[in-house]
Chains A and B, each alone.
Chain A
């Protein structure tokens, strides 16, 4: 069994209004910075998972992301192995 680090990024689904992202974009725009078409805010989680293989760790992280870390009505997620 070894330790694996998995990074989970949770973001709002496309089409779900992100008032925080809009507010952040508004500030960036107000600073005179140009070219920012859109800002969407999300959450990042770093998980350290003990498992036989990296694929098993990734699968465990995906299960946690699906059941706990994200709300499937609003959000979607991506899990990736860091180490």
Chain B
């Protein structure tokens, strides 16, 4: 299976994602430049974390217009799995591939720490082998992760089980004390209606090896490998 990892000017988690795909999972990985108009046969696209275009204007606002994003939109429209991590999530929101927007963290602080997220659904390629209700410990590192959407959008996300990850306590309880950024409905990650595009603020690529202290993030990558393998049988 081949993962395409998009590099925007200012991406900084591209090599982390590549490392996990290639060296931890043992799958094929290619870098895709933001100016490319070709996904080079990728089976899954990762929009990595970082500061695309320096976060100028708004996070993800300029990356939206990169040529590669038209290819990503076409790929996702055909059902191709796409995951945006942190800044990648912000880009997917700006593009309209996911619903909602990001505000500055309620604390007005850049938050960089491990958080707990409860997996809310296994009906996405990136959570396909995770039992709903399982709590994962994965780090975040962002200034704009305060998820915002109109009330009817949040209601639709809830009704359609499109909230994929929610900030909780280590025991899986939703509590504002465990919400690190003020996100509405405790949203840490969501998916689109077709369920093949997922955005998440936590960084699973930073928690996929025992040497890094936590391997909870690895199952997100393993899930999509299994999902793709299953769909090809």
Report the interface size for chain A: residues with CB under 8 A from the other chain: 10
B58, A71: Cβ atoms closer than 8 Å: yes
Task: Check B171 for interface membership: any CB of A closer than 8 A.
Answer: no
Cα-based distance from A16 to B105 in the complex (angstroms) = 13
C-alpha gap A17/B184 in the complex (Å): 11
Task: Indicate with 1 or 0, residue by residue over A21-40, a CB within 8 angstroms of chain B CB atoms.
Answer: 00100000000000000000
A68-B57, A68-B61 given; A73·B149 CB < 8 A:
yes
Contact assessment for B101 and A69 in the assembled complex, using a CB-CB cutoff below 8 Å? no
State which residues 97-141 of B face A: CB under 8 Å.
100-101, 103-108
Please state if B148 and A73 are interface contacts (CB–CB under 8 Å).
yes
Q: Closest chain B residue to A13 by CB distance? A: B150
Instruction: Tell whether, in the assembled complex, residue A23 and residue B148 are in contact, meaning their CB atoms are under 8 Å apart.
Output: no
Chain B: number of interface residues, binned into ranges = 10 to 19
Q: Is the CB of B103 within 8 A of A17?
A: yes
Q: Name the B residues within 8 Å of A71 (CB-CB).
A: 58, 61, 94, 101
Residues of A with C-beta under 8 A to B58? 71
Kindly list chain B residues whose C-beta atoms are within 8 Å of the C-beta of A16.
103, 148
- B104 touching A19, Cβ below 8 Å: yes
> Judging by beta carbons under 8 Å apart, are B105 and A19 in contact?
yes
- Which A30-67 residues sit within 8 Å CB-CB of chain B? none
Chain B residue numbers with a CB within 8 Å of A68 are: 57, 61, 65
Question: Are A20 and B108 within 8 A (Cβ)?
Answer: yes
Q: Which of A20, A23, A73 has the largest count of B CB atoms less than 10 A from its CB? A: A73
Q: How far is B92's CA from A73's CA once the two chains are assembled, in angstroms?
A: 14
Query: Across the interface, do A73 and B103 meet the contact criterion of CB distance under 8 Å?
Result: no
Q: A16-B148, A19-B106, A20-B108 are in contact. Are A73 and B101 (CB under 8 A)?
A: yes
Query: Are B148 and A74 within 8 A (Cβ)?
Result: yes
Closest CB-CB distance, A72 to chain B, in whole Å?
9
Q: Which residues of A contact B94 (CB under 8 A)?
A: 71
Residue of A at shortest CB range from B94?
A71
Q: Which residue of B lies closest to A74 (CB)?
A: B101
User: Is there an interface contact between B104 and A20, defined as CB atoms closer than 8 Å?
Assistant: yes
Q: How far is the CA of A68 from the CA of B148 in the complex (A)?
A: 19
CB-based nearest A residue for B106: A19
A71-B58, A71-B61, A71-B94 known; A19 vs B103 contact (CB < 8 Å)? yes
- Within 131-170 of B, Cβ neighbours of A (below 8 Å) are at 146, 148-150
Complex-state Cα separation, A23 to B100, whole angstroms: 24
Complex CA distance for A19 and B111, rounded to whole angstroms: 15
B61 touches A23 (CB 8 A): no
Q: A-contacting residues of B (Cβ < 8 Å)?
A: 57-58, 61, 65, 94, 100-101, 103-108, 146, 148-150, 182
Q: List 20 additional A-B contacts (Cβ < 8 Å) besides A17-B106, A74-B101.
A: A16-B148, A17-B103, A17-B148, A19-B103, A19-B104, A19-B105, A19-B107, A19-B108, A19-B182, A23-B108, A68-B65, A71-B58, A71-B61, A71-B101, A73-B100, A73-B101, A73-B148, A73-B149, A73-B150, A74-B148
